Every structure is written in structure tokens, then in C-alpha cells.
Amino acid sequence: MEQELAAVPQTAVVPFADRVAEAVERKRSQLVLGVDPRPELLPLELRAAAHAGRAAAAEACARFSCGLVDAAGPYVVGVKLQLAFFEALGADGLAAFEEACAYARAAGLLVIADGKRGDIGSTARAYADAYVQATEAGGPRVDAITVNPYLGSDSLEPFLAAARRSGTGLFVLVKTSNGGSADVQELTLSDGRPVWHQVAELVADWGEELVGEHGLSSVGAVVGATYPRAVGEARRLMPQAILLLPGIGAQGATPADVARAFTSGPASALVPVSRSVIYAFRVDGADWRTAAAAEAARLKREVWTASGW
């Protein structure tokens, strides 16, 4: 790792939305690096560890994650760590997740945990405590987390409370990028609207009290870039929400598909890029760090241009 891992500074109590806006303005980028480390797909120099037990695989995933931060860090404002791939490696995997979070934070990047959490009562509070609630021992582990709203507002209240107290953010699943999203999200309500429109209106309501100085809310929404028309509708329904727009690259969407998301400002949407960047070396055969940097740089330019800013 090029970067020496030092003590990680605690997150200042500045609203997440304002930190996003400041990072986008400073780096002229709306890109977020999606880190989905699969041991069987790691570069050759790390792949042998995939068959040497959980501890070795987790260490390899941590090295891969931190190497990607070194490579793509100059071109992105944050990283989105997919918790499932770390959790699959047990306690060692969670230790690798924490290492990757700390490393990204030390590099000045925002950290989003892609965990899609959402439960009720004490369980929801425990999830919030684990990731976005500041403790006496230090600040929150991450800057924001993805959450599932389908258990209702009480399942999200602990995350909203953490946002109020600790300056963290949340991205609520609204219209997701997968093909099966229509099974529930596109069902028609009695007034003719799709279900996801109702969820979008709830997100707008939940976020009203968490609007920062830049006019954006720390309650954001996940909207798939694979549905360009929905992106425009989502912006209309949630004018102050930061939209997290997965789907560019391996899932088939292009930067042009998300242009309508940026009408509320250059920081009003973030574009996570995962497989197309972190596994770029599998396409062109270049060194994995070099390939990731080149692809991140290209996508940064294209998304910025498409945003119109």
C-alpha cells in the first residue's frame, strides 16, 4: 500500500450532504468507487489466498480494497463498500472491512456501507449503532449507509436519529437497478402511481429536516441508472435528495442515462462504479491498479460532462 495507515480522524459534525457537496466541488467528480471484493476474481498476485482459508482471503481482500483506494482515489469522492463480500469471510472479513474503511477515510474519501439494512426496534438501533452512530470511543464507522424502507418509517428512525446527531447520511432504496425490481416497486397503487413513487415521497418527507447549507438532504435515494426515465421522475419527486445511481458499466447504463439527476446541482447525484473499474484489469490485461485508475479517470470525465456542470 502506498499510503501509510495513520490514526483515522473522526468525522466532523458537518451534515453528510454538505460533505458530499464540498467533495464534489473540490474534486470535480461525482464518482464513487464501488468495492465488491470477490476472492475468486482478485488479481493473480492475490488470488491464491482465496483457497488458503478465510483469514488469508480476507487479508487479500483488504489489500485489494486499499490498493484500489490508492489507484482510483484521485478520481472519486468516496467509496461504497459492499458489506456482503466482507461478511462472507466471517470475523476476518469484517476486520478487512474496517481496515478498508479506515484506509479510505485516511485518504480523504467518504465511505458508504452498502448493507441495505432495515429492521424494527432494537434491531434497527443495533444496525445504526454498528455503522453510523458516533460512540464515546470515536466517530461513526462510515459516513452513510444504504437502507431498505419496506418495513416502514420506524425501521429507519434510528438511522435518521444518527444523521441528526452524528452528521451521517442514508440512501434509501427507491427504484433499484436490478431487473426484478419491477416485481414490487412497479406495482400500481389505487391512485395509479407505482409503489416506488410513494417511497420517493416518503424519502422527500424524511429528508426535509436534514437539508444542509448546500440545499441538499442527508437522506438520499438509490435509483438505478438502468432506468433513465425513472431517474428524471425521481429527481422531480425528491428535489433535495442526493441520488445514488448504480448501474453504469457492467449493468449497461451510460453516463448520459443519469444526466437528468443533476438538475439540483453538481452534487445532487453520485454515480457508483464497481465491476467496470475494480476488475478492469480482466479486460485489458494491464496491472490492476493501472487499469482501475485509467477507467476511473475516464468515467469521472464522462459523468462530469454528462452532468452539465
- H-helix segments, the chain: 16-27, 44-47, 54-72, 83-87, 90-106, 121-131, 153-166, 182-185, 195-207, 228-237, 275-278, 281-284, 288-307
Name the pairing type of β-strands 31-35 and 144-147. Answer: unpaired
User: Whole-angstrom distance between the N-terminal and C-terminal Cα of the chain?
Assistant: 34
What does DSSP assign to residue 74?
G
Per-residue model confidence (pLDDT) at position 50: 81
Spell out the residues 6+ positions from residue 58 whose beta carbon is closer than 8 angstroms to its own: 86, 89, 90, 92, 93, 95, 96
Rg of the Cα trace of the chain? Answer: 18
Residue 288: CB atoms within 10 Å: 21
Per-residue model confidence (pLDDT) at position 3: 55
**Angstrom distance (rounded) from CA 247 to CA 111:** 19
**Contact call for residues 308 and 256 (beta carbons, < 8 A):** no
Determine phi and psi for 268, rounding to 5 degrees.
Answer: -80, 0
Cell of 5: 495507515
Instruction: Identify any residues that bridge with 117 across adjacent strands, giving them in sequence order.
Output: 147
Q: Name the packing angle between helices 153-166 and 195-207 (round to 10°).
A: 30
**Angstrom distance (rounded) from CA 274 to CA 41:** 13
Side-chain half-sphere of 240: how many Cα atoms within 13 Å? 21
Per-residue model confidence (pLDDT) at position 1: 54
What does DSSP assign to residue 236?
H
Spell out the residues 6+ positions from residue 55 whose beta carbon is closer than 8 angstroms to its own: 92
**Contact call for residues 185 and 171 (beta carbons, < 8 A):** no
pLDDT per residue as tens, the chain (309 positions) = 555 544 444 445 899 999 999 999 999 999 999 999 999 999 999 998 888 899 999 999 999 999 999 999 999 999 999 999 999 999 999 999 999 999 999 999 999 999 999 999 899 999 999 999 887 667 899 999 999 999 999 999 999 999 999 999 999 999 999 989 999 999 999 999 999 999 999 999 999 999 999 999 999 999 999 999 999 999 999 999 999 999 998 889 999 999 999 999 999 999 999 999 999 999 978 899 999 999 999 999 999 999 998
What does DSSP assign to residue 29?
-
**Angstrom distance (rounded) from CA 276 to CA 278:** 6
Identify the H or E element spanning 31. strand 31-35
Angle at 259 between CA 25 and CA 306, to 5 degrees: 65
Residue type for position 10? Q
Per-residue model confidence (pLDDT) at position 126: 96
**Angstrom distance (rounded) from CA 212 to CA 15:** 6
pTM for the structure as a whole: 0.94
List, by residue number, the catalytic residues: 116
Domains in the chain, start-ordered, CATH in brackets?
16-31+61-82+100-307 (3.20.20.70)
